[in-house]
Structure formats: structure tokens, C-alpha cells
Amino acid sequence: MATTVVTKWTGGLSFDSLVAGHHVILDASKEGGGQDTGARPKALLLTAIAGCSGMDIVSILGKMKIKDYTFEMDVDGESTTEHPIVFHTITVKYKFSGKDLPPDRILRAVSLSNDTYCGATAMLRKAAEIVVKIYINDEEIT
């Protein structure tokens, strides 16, 4: 199955990318010559990891009957200094909050996503080290 996005230049360094019927605006920062009207392309790679993995994890935890929790992810990309500037390390912090959350099940859901299901993580792992950290109620469990 192929995935296609259509991306049109809208002037300056700005582009409008149509992704499955949704518009994603891309632009450079003002310091980088753009107008800061949209997301940076490399940052969207980090967003892809968060979205892909997050969807997996929520689905898996639902099947495990885990509910009544909040969940967010911080994804940090550390870049090289020479061109092409790429992420050499990506750290994903999975942050769960709630009462009586079972660490073993949360660890299992995150592991299944990162090791088996998330295609974005699998692709980017070929280019960068991916570090996973899991927090429950602000306490790191990995």
C-alpha cells in the first residue's frame, strides 16, 4: 500500500502539504528565511513518532482495560552540527498520570508500540538512536 502526499509551494519558504485530506503548513523560522507560518519539516518527524506510538499505546491500554489516566509525550531530537543536519538521538518521554496505574502493563504497551507496531519509530530508528523513558505520576519507571 502506497502513501502519497501532495505538497505545493505557497511562496517564500512556505508549503502546504495535503496529507490524507488534511492540510499541514510547512515553513522556516524568520531567522531561517521563512515567515514562521507553519511547522518545521524535521519537527514533524518527531510528531510522527509521538502520534504513531501514542495511538498504539492508547489502543493497547484500552484492550488491557486501563482507563482514567492522562497521557502525554515529549519528543526531543538532538541534531548533528554539520550538514546535512540530522537527528542523531531522539528521546521519547512517555508521561502517564492517574491513580493505581500498573507499571508492568504500561511498560508492556510502550514496548509493544516501540518494538512491534509503530512504523514511524521503526523507520527513524534506522537513522538515529531512540531513547525511551516512561514516567508514571512524575516517577521514572525505566
Give the pLDDT of the chain (142 residues) as one tens digit per residue. 899 999 999 999 999 999 999 999 999 999 999 999 999 999 999 999 999 999 999 999 999 999 999 999 999 999 999 999 999 999 999 999 999 999 999 999 999 999 999 999 999 999 999 999 999 999 999 8
- pLDDT for res 114: 97
Q: Rounded to an integer, what distance in angstroms lies between the CA atom of residue 47 and that of residue 45?
A: 5
Nearest to 13 by CA among 38, 34, 32: 34
CA-nearest of 79, 69, 77, 64 to 135 is 69
As for how many domains the chain has, the answer is 2
For residue 43, the model assigns a pLDDT of 96
Domain that holds residue 127: 41-140
Whether residue 14 is found in the same domain as residue 45: no
Compute the C-alpha angle 101/107/112, nearest 5°: 130
Tell me, yes or no, whether 102 and 128 share the same domain: yes
Residues 69, 113: one domain?
A: yes
* Model pLDDT, residue 38: 98
pTM: predicted TM-score of the whole model, two decimal places: 0.94
Residues 28 and 52 in one domain: no
CB 135 within 8 A of CB 95: yes
Residue 70 corresponds to which amino acid? T
> Same domain for 99 and 59?
yes
Give residue 17's pLDDT.
98
Q: Do residue 68 and residue 123 come from a single domain? A: yes
pLDDT at 78: 98
Task: Please choose, from the candidates 77, 79, 76, the residue with its C-alpha nearest in 3D space to the C-alpha of residue 94.
Answer: 76
Distance CA 127, CA 52 (A): 17
pLDDT at 62: 98
How high is the pLDDT of residue 1?
Answer: 87
What are the backbone dihedrals phi and psi of residue 51, each rounded to the nearest 5 degrees, phi first? -65, -45
Asked if residue 23 and residue 61 are part of one domain, the reply reads no
In a shared domain, residues 5 and 66: no
* Claim to verify: residue 45 and residue 96 sit in the same structural domain: yes
Q: Are residues 25 and 66 in the same domain?
A: no
Q: What is the pLDDT of residue 103?
A: 98
pLDDT given at position 142: 84
Joined together, the cell numbers standing for residue 109 give 504497551
